[in-house]
Amino acid sequence: MTYLQIQGIRMEFGDIVAVHDVSLDVRQGEFMTFLGPSGSGKSTTLYILAGFQQPTRGDILLDGRTLLDRPSHQRNIGMVFQRYTLFPNMTVGENIAFPLKVRRRPKAEIDARVREMLRLVRLEGFEDRRIARMSGGQQQRVALARALAYDPPVLLMDEPLSALDKKLREEIQHEIRRIHQQTGVTILYVTHDQEEALRLSDRIAVFSQGRIDQVGTGAELYANPATRFVAEFIGDSDVLPAEIVAAHGTHADVRVGEAVVRGVPVHGAARTGAATLLLRPERITLARGAAGGLPATVTDVTFLGNTFHVAAVTPTGDALSIRLPFGHEAAAGLSRGEAVSLSFDPASAHVFA
Ligand code: ADP
Ligand code: MG
């Protein structure tokens, strides 16, 4: 059931259109991530939800009611933003209590709630510590505790972990997942990191140039990218110049080098002519010598434990990467400069006109 509806949001800053026409339905309790490169309109959309900015056009409904006629502090939305920081001279407990004090909750309730939040983010015993004396990761936990203290129906997070190192980031990602499951709060999360998005989200909205290109689970976006942008942004991909020689609705016959591959899923208008073929590195198989597939020359082989990463180049000079599982017959003996033949299931490829 739809809970939060973003309807046709447009945001102009003078001549700049930061958000073009964003619409999105979010279910109650869902973990929805806005994923996209810097400048694609993710934060602006989140700030509009938070009430920091009023959109040029469009509406936002929570449980069927518009949010736009309410100022930020009356929307009851929790926020963990980089610019919405903790109070460094207050203690951990005072920070978490702050939104409750603003709401004039009774002291006993505040105390109980602060303790509950400290337990939730696993910071029991830190109540009297000053923020300035907490590590980056601990501070993010406090920010999360403060944002959740008054039990908001929706929590917004804008790149909350981008200042942390990889190990700490993964640890807090794990915590965020646990807290999401434990509280059932609806989360809208912004990141430019696809791995983070895949790790955390129920669904991902892929942003590009102020628009949402596609919304889906990570697996849906990976298996069925609607645009070339989504295909290249989610997961690794090999991109080859190609030509659509025949189009049959959702599938096309595609020439790559000398070969014609039949029945490749096509995205966008399926018309004949120049196109781009996209392959996933783990969906390509490899045979040594000339074996009837796409010819290529090995340029490098790296063993990474469970996989071999093979770099290769086609006769037209296009570089490809291929992942072969450990145990793959041809992989172990491959050497640089060797001629190989590549093949793939047409259904696992994508062509973009
Ligand atoms: P993201 O969070 O995806 O990196 P933003 O939403 O911050 O992207 O920005 C989208 C676009 O809008 C960018 O081109 C940015 O420069 C522009 N923009 C954002 N805020 C403002 C503003 N207050 N004034 C002018 N331009 C802005
Ligand atoms: Mg941003």
Distance (Å, whole) CA 281 – CA 267: 19
Spatial neighbors of 241 by CB under 8 A, at least 6 apart, are 274, 276, 277, 316, 318
Nearest ligand atom owner, CA of 41: 1
Using DSSP, state whether 176 is helix, strand or coil.
Answer: helix
Atom of ligand 1 nearest to the CA of 40: 3
- d(CA 13, ligand 1 centre) in Å: 8
Distance (Å, whole) CA 22 – CA 58: 9
Query: Strand runs (DSSP E) across the chain, as ranges?
Result: 2-13, 16-27, 31-35, 57-62, 65-66, 77-81, 154-158, 186-191, 203-208, 211-216, 238-248, 251-256, 259-267, 273-279, 284-288, 294-303, 307-313, 319-325, 339-344, 350-352
Sign (positive or negative) of CA dihedral 187, 47, 193, 227: positive
- Of 10, 11, 16, the one to substitute when testing ligand 1's pocket (max ligand atoms within 8 A of C-beta) is 16
Contact 42, 34 (CB under 8 A): yes
pLDDT score recorded for residue 292:
82
Residues with a CB atom less than 6 Å from ligand 1: 13, 16, 18, 36, 38-44
Name the residue at shortest CA distance from atom 16 of ligand 1.
Answer: 39
Q: Pick out the chain residues at pLDDT < 70.
A: 83-84
Residue ranges of domains in the chain, CATH in brackets: 2-231 (3.40.50.300), 237-352 (2.40.50.140)
Distance (Å, whole) CA 99 – CA 172: 23
Tokens at 44, concatenated: 């602006």
Name the residue at shortest CA distance from atom 12 of ligand 1.
Answer: 18
DSSP string, 257-297: TTEEEEEEEEES---SEEEEEEE-GGGEEEEES--SSEEEE
Q: What are the phi and psi torsion angles at 286 (to 5°)?
A: -140, 140
pLDDT score recorded for residue 83:
61
pLDDT score recorded for residue 168:
87
Q: What are the phi and psi torsion angles at 15 (to 5°)?
A: -85, -15
Atom of ligand 1 nearest to the CA of 207: 3
pLDDT score recorded for residue 54:
96
* Residue whose token pair is 């110049």: 241
Contact 299, 336 (CB under 8 A): yes
CB-facing half-sphere around the CA of 157: CA atoms within 13 A: 33
pLDDT score recorded for residue 125:
95
